[in-house]
Amino acid sequence: LRVTTFGESHGPAIGCVIDGLPPGIAIAPEDFAHDLARRATGKTRHTSQRREADEVEILSGVYEGVSTGAPVALLVRNTDARSKDYANIAAQFRPGHADYTYWHKYGIRDPRGGGRSSARETTMRVAAGVIAKKWLAQRGVSVRACVSQVADVRPRGFDWSAVEDNPFFWPDAAQVPELEAFMDALRKSGDSAGARVHVQALGVPPGWGEPVYGKLDAEIAAAMMSINAVKGVEIGAGFASVAQKGSEHRDLMAPEGFASNHAGGILGGISSGQAIEVSVAFKPTSSLRLPGATLDTTGAAVEVVTTGRHDPCVGLRAPPICEAMLALVLMDHALRHRAQCGDVGPVHPRVP
Ligand code: EPS
């Protein structure tokens, strides 16, 4: 399975091409609406106020409602770009933003907006992930995510059933007013905040992944790190495992199952059959109303202020993106496992 995206935040459209999908998967334009709306801007006051239709057009690879095995190309037209917002920073770099490194790499500045480095690009990852989620669900595998930290605010309680009922994907309903107040104050201050997203896959059988090259955890980490604004990825206990003893970290086994899941569902690059647990760190957005020292494209020192429509905490929109990336990596590994071992079932045929 291979997914590539194209298009700029302020170009006419964004899109993706999904290569390697098996034939016969039912795919309809309306399949995408739910997850794209979960990710979209402009749904609450806590995100960018850009309002996009995010309607998916299927350009290829689907005939009479099912995938044909040919590349599936999906297109979403941009309907609410406002490039004049970028006029005053067209020749300036935002500290902490990719516009600086893009300039050094390509020497070309697209002054219309964030371009390829905008979170707009993640729309198409979510669209591609919808197909992977659907395919996985038919094999008993589900993927879900929540926001598990905003700045230094952590959930006091944890209930997956609360996550989809508030604008923060937050697992503690009682804490939502506190987060609302935090985000309102943050937005008014002109600053931004980071967030942690927890993403989990349930029902993955043991055996998906590869032992050395293409380890399942390595490919999940690469997929998450490829999302804009991601600065860290943990699998299972992650960096906390540094301070654990072996006797604490190991997940004891009994015929009824594992006693804990510090491994995050992956041992030696291969799924163990436990839930796959991934934690992803999103940096605070770099487009700030607060002035900051920077350079312009001639190298001169200037002060930058970014106005326009930006997310004060882009991580708040990231759970559907992380779900999509995890689903795509899992589907890819399921297909690779089937190619090598002939089965995507719960265990290898030779394991009793
Ligand atoms: C973004 C700035 C805003 C956001 C955008 C991410 O867009 P614009 O490029 O028009 O200024 O609305 O996110 C989306 C449009 C989206 O669909 O996610 C940024 O600075 O990264």
Among 41, 51, 86, 306, the mutation site with the greatest number of ligand 1 atoms within 8 A of its Cβ is 41
> What does the domain layout of the chain look like in residue ranges?
85-341
115 C-beta closer than 6 A to ligand 1: no
123 C-beta closer than 6 A to ligand 1: yes
Query: How many other β-carbons are positioned within 10 Å of the β-carbon of residue 139?
Result: 15
From first to last of its 352 residues, what are the pLDDT tens digits of the chain? 999 999 999 999 999 999 999 999 999 999 999 999 999 999 999 999 999 999 999 999 999 999 999 999 999 999 999 988 989 999 999 999 999 999 999 999 888 888 999 999 999 999 999 999 999 999 999 999 999 999 999 999 999 999 999 999 999 999 999 999 999 999 999 999 999 999 999 999 999 999 999 999 999 999 999 999 999 999 999 999 999 999 999 999 999 999 999 999 999 999 999 999 999 999 999 999 999 999 999 999 999 999 999 999 999 999 999 999 999 999 999 999 999 998 766 555 566 5
Q: Please tell me the predicted confidence (pLDDT) of residue 350.
A: 60
The rounded Å distance from CA 314 to ligand 1 centre is: 9
Which ligand 1 atom is at minimum distance from the Cα of 117? 21
The rounded Å distance from CA 294 to ligand 1 centre is: 21
Atom 17 (ligand 1): residue with closest C-alpha? 120
Among 8, 309, 321, the mutation site with the greatest number of ligand 1 atoms within 8 A of its Cβ is 309
Buried b (16+ CB within 10 A) or exposed e, 208-239: bbbeeeebbbbbbbebbeebbbbebbbbbbee
149 residue type, one letter: Q
Q: Please tell me the predicted confidence (pLDDT) of residue 352.
A: 54
Q: Please tell me the predicted confidence (pLDDT) of residue 112.
A: 87
The rounded Å distance from CA 240 to ligand 1 centre is: 34
The rounded Å distance from CA 146 to ligand 1 centre is: 21
Atom 2 (ligand 1): residue with closest C-alpha? 310
Q: In angstroms, rounded to a whole number, what is the distance separating the alpha carbons of residues 269 and 152?
A: 32
Atom 14 (ligand 1): residue with closest C-alpha? 120
Radius of gyration of the chain (CA): 21
Q: Please tell me the predicted confidence (pLDDT) of residue 347.
A: 57
Q: In angstroms, rounded to a whole number, what is the distance separating the alpha carbons of residues 270 and 348?
A: 13
312 C-beta closer than 6 A to ligand 1: no
Per CATH, domain 85-341 is 3.60.150.10:
yes
Atom 21 (ligand 1): residue with closest C-alpha? 118
Q: In angstroms, rounded to a whole number, what is the distance separating the alpha carbons of residues 26 and 66?
A: 4
Residue written as token pair 């032992």 = 211
Atom 6 (ligand 1): residue with closest C-alpha? 119
The rounded Å distance from CA 289 to ligand 1 centre is: 15
Q: Please choose, from the candidates 113, 129, 111, the residue with its C-alpha nearest in 3D space to the C-alpha of residue 78.
A: 113
Which ligand 1 atom is at minimum distance from the Cα of 81? 10
